[in-house]
Amino acid sequence: LFAAVEMAPRDPILGLTEAFNADTRQNKVNLGVGVYYNEEGRIPLLRAVVEAEKARLAAQAPRGYLPIEGIGAYDAAVQRLLFGSESALITEGRVVTAQALGGTGALRVGGDLLKRLLPDAAVAISNPSWENHRALFESAGFPVQQYRYYNAETHGIDRSGMLEDLRNLPPRSIIILHACCHNPTGVDLNADDWQQIIEVLKEREHVPFVDIAYQGFGDGIEQDALAARLFAQSGMSFLVSSSFSKSFSLYGERVGALSLVTQSRDESARVLSQLKRVIRTNYSNPPTHGATIVASVLNSTELRGLWEAELGEMRDRIRMMRQAMVEQLATKGARRDFTFVALQRGMFSYSGLNVEQVERLRVDHGVYAISTGRICAAALNSRNIGHVTDAIVQVLEQ
């Protein structure tokens, strides 16, 4: 049975981490990661989470199965976070939400549901995108194409290229969009861009699938929901995958959600029944712990306030590190202007360094980054940033 099984290619990011762990240099820095580290270089455990966990432990609640779509109070809180507490979509019963196993699980369940509804559709992802987007939708059985997104020369958006590619896709294509804090570039769309994209998507009857994995890491919880709010206003039907891995620092608890926006309460009931079939035949029902914690935090005024403050601290720290990186590189005489780094949002930054420069960073300086030049700004801290900027300056001189 297994004799002829070939070795699958190694995950490049995990491979990088293995190489980093084996590196014996004292001043090594891993900027290849996809998690937020605090100033001490550790994954934080938020106080809001600790408080909610204490309460959960004290309640000694039994651990029965959850409903297929997860915890009701959690699903409702996710909807309010996405669309605002006063959202007409919610009161009209036009949003269906199911708890999912992280943002990845939400994307996969959404992909499987869409395959049933639009078996012949194409999926389009941004160029570049989070590498799992392609793999996930290919696994769900879709051909995956790319639309232009990032302009390496301007370190900005290729606006005309993006709109042109979206126009040229076959009608009713599924378009995966990063709501904020674009992974891997850090370059986001503005309100004007979103409006233009929405017009094209409507015209071509494309299906928007908005991926929001960093709500609160960009400009703020409400600000980062802009894309979801604009799609809500557009009158279109669309999907949203939410992840709380970063915003609650609950990576391993797998807390996410899939929300579907329909045209009516009746449509919602039918769509939910189909969504439940997809989930039931995949993992039956979701786990209890993470979503219970997130629901308790979001539904308590006190804990929510604490969480917002802690999320704000993470957001501000990343911004400070971006700013410090720009300033240090300028002061140290880097042969390039890096001001674009401070304009990017979220954890990731396309640094503009090429494969050879990334290689030199690792070999000569013990600074690990992804070969595309992607660095995690959230892995910088006041102790390692000096070494990182020294290394970048030297690599650019070679």
Residue placing its CB nearer to ligand PMP in the complex, 20 or 217: 217
Residue placing its CB nearer to ligand PMP in the complex, 13 or 59: 13
Residue placing its CB nearer to ligand PMP in the complex, 214 or 338: 214
Smallest distance, ligand PMP to C-beta of residue 109, A: 12
User: Is 211 an annotated catalytic residue?
Assistant: yes
What is the spatial distance between Cα 195 and Cα 193, in angstroms, rounded to a whole number? Answer: 5
Residue placing its CB nearer to ligand PMP in the complex, 174 or 329: 174
What is the spatial distance between Cα 370 and Cα 157, in angstroms, rounded to a whole number? Answer: 21
Smallest distance, ligand PMP to C-beta of residue 113, A: 17
Interface ranges with ligand PMP (CB under 6 A): 34, 102-104, 130, 178, 183, 211, 213, 243, 245, 256
Residue placing its CB nearer to ligand PMP in the complex, 82 or 213: 213
Residue placing its CB nearer to ligand PMP in the complex, 102 or 286: 102
Find the catalytic residue in 112, 188, 194, 246: 246
| Token code pair at residue 383 | 């102790």
Find the catalytic residue in 158, 165, 211, 224: 211
Smallest distance, ligand PMP to C-beta of residue 274, A: 23
Smallest distance, ligand PMP to C-beta of residue 115, A: 19
User: Is 246 an annotated catalytic residue?
Assistant: yes
Burial class (CB in 10 A: 0-12, 13-18, 19+), 49: buried
Number of residues that make up the chain: 398
Smallest distance, ligand PMP to C-beta of residue 60, A: 28
Residue placing its CB nearer to ligand PMP in the complex, 211 or 310: 211
CB-closest chain residue to ligand PMP: 102
Smallest distance, ligand PMP to C-beta of residue 239, A: 13
Find the catalytic residue in 112, 115, 130, 158: 130
Smallest distance, ligand PMP to C-beta of residue 34, A: 5
Number of alpha carbons in the 13 Å side-chain half-sphere of residue 134: 10
User: Is 202 an annotated catalytic residue?
Assistant: no
Catalytic residues: 130, 211, 246
